[in-house]
Amino acid sequence: MGTSKAMLPFGDRTLLQRVIASVENVCSSIVVVAAKDQPLPDLPESVIVVHDSIEGQGPLEGIRVGLNALPQAISAAYVTSCDVPFLKPSFVEFMFDQLGSNEIAVPVEDGFFHPLAGVYSVSVSDAIERLFQTGERRPRMLFDQVCTAQVPTELLKTVDSVLDSLVNLNEPEQYQAALERLHAEE
CA dihedral 32, 34, 39, 45 (to 10 degrees): 20
Cβ atoms of 172 and 126 closer than 8 Å: no
Domain 5-185: which CATH class? Answer: alpha beta
In angstroms, the CA 182 to CA 23 distance is 18
Residue 65 has pLDDT above 90, yes or no: yes
pLDDT tens-digit map of 118-174: 999 999 999 999 999 999 999 999 999 999 999 999 999 999 999 999 999 999 999
